[in-house]
Structure 1
Amino acid sequence: MTTQKLALAALFISLSAIGGMIKIPLGIASIALDSMPALVAVLFFSAPLAGTIAAFGHLISALFGGMPLGPFHLIIAFEMWAVVWLFAILHRAGKRWLKWPAFIVGNGMVAAVPFYFLLSPAFFYASVPGLVIAASINAGVAALLMPYVLRVRGGSLHAS
């Protein structure tokens, strides 16, 4: 990896940290813009690296929030990696419309499934609405920003 790519990845992780500081309480979950920079990062990086940006972004966001789920945040970080990895794969394949619902469903619903069993069904049902809203806001902001980032970068939505 070149120094320039490493610095750009660090910038996206930093943007995730800043987005993670913007917390809007919503029931037992909170909305933060910590995954939005990782979604935009797919314009610059491979799927595994974009996923890594999402994982680190989540961990930093959780640190700012006081790590309310303790070591379970490692599971969530892996899930964030997987969801953004899938998003990046769909982006590279030109699935412009499929990548957004895949992210929202993956981040807002599927990622919560382990907590149905690890914590309780009540936690799962109480957190899913907030997680879907948070994923939708992150996806919406990323969708609005991506064309502008591409214009500055000098590419098209399919290029990268």
Structure 2
Amino acid sequence: MNIKKISLISLFIALCVAGASIKIPAVVSSVALDMVPALVGSVMLGSLPGATIAFIGHLLSALFGGMPMGPLHLLVGLEMAALVWLFAIFYKKGYRLLASVLFVTGNTVFAPLPFLFLIGSGFYVGLMPSLFIGSVFNTGIALILAPRLARFYEGRFQKEAVR
């Protein structure tokens, strides 16, 4: 991995921190626009860097929200990483709508499933509307930005041409 790619990953993580400050009213205070940079980063840099950005981005978002679920945020961070990784794979294959639907559904229905058993059905059901709204906003903004930024990125930060 070259220094330019590491710098871009760091930049996207910093943007996750900025997105973490844009909260969506929810039962848990870590529902925010912190996944936009992770989704865009996964399109531009690949699925693994995008997953890394998502994991660290979620942890920072939770930290700024007061870590309401404590160490369970590690589980949520891993779920976010997996969802962004999956999003990138389908997006890169040209299935943008499917990638978006999988991300929104995964983040709204499947990611909070462990909390159904750990905390209870009230928490799970109460969290779903906020997660849905947050997922739709994160995905929508990423779908607008990703193609434009990817076009800009293409060729500018790739391996330098041999002269």
- TM score, norm. by length of structure 1: 0.91
Give the deviation of 1:144 after TM superposition: 1.4
Q: What CA distance in whole angstroms lies between the structure 2 residues aligned with 1:77 and 1:20? A: 13
* Residues 9-53 of structure 1 deviation map (CA, whole Å, 9 limit, x = unaligned): 000000001100111323x13541100101101222221221110
Aligned to 2:28: 29
Shift of 1:109: 1.3
1:128 matched to 2:128:
yes
* TM-score, length basis structure 2: 0.89
Return the letter of the residue paired with 1:67: M
Point out where structure 1 has 5 or more consecutive residues left out of the alignment.
156-160
The CA RMSD measured in Å over matched residues stands at 1.4
Deviations 1:95-138 (A, max 9, x none): 12200001100111110101000111110011011101100010
Whole-angstrom distance in 2 between the partners of 1:106 and 1:75? 14
Q: How many residues align?
A: 154
- Of 42-51 and 102-111, more deviation after overlay is shown by 42-51
Structure 1 distance, partners of 2:115, 2:13, is 26
Q: What is the match of residue 18 of structure 1? A: 18
After the TM superposition, which segments of 4 or more aligned residues of structure 1 sit over 2 Å from their partners?
150-155
Secondary structure of the 1:97 match is helix
Contact 1:36–1:138 (CA under 8 A) maintained in structure 2? yes
Aligned counterparts, 1:1-160, within 5 A: 1-26=1-26, 28-30=27-29, 31-154=31-154
SS, match of residue 25 in structure 2: strand
Gapped runs of 5+ residues in structure 2?
156-163
Partner amino acid, structure 1, of 2:62 = A
C-alpha contact 2:54 2:84 (8 A) present in aligned 1: yes
Is 2:43–2:50's contact at 8 Å kept on the other side of the alignment? no
Q: Which amino acid aligns with 1:100?
A: S
User: Do the aligned partners of 1:62 and 1:68 also contact (CA within 8 Å) in 2?
Assistant: yes
- SS state of the match for residue 33, structure 2? coil
**How far apart, CA to CA, are the structure 1 residues paired with 2:43 and 2:21?**
24
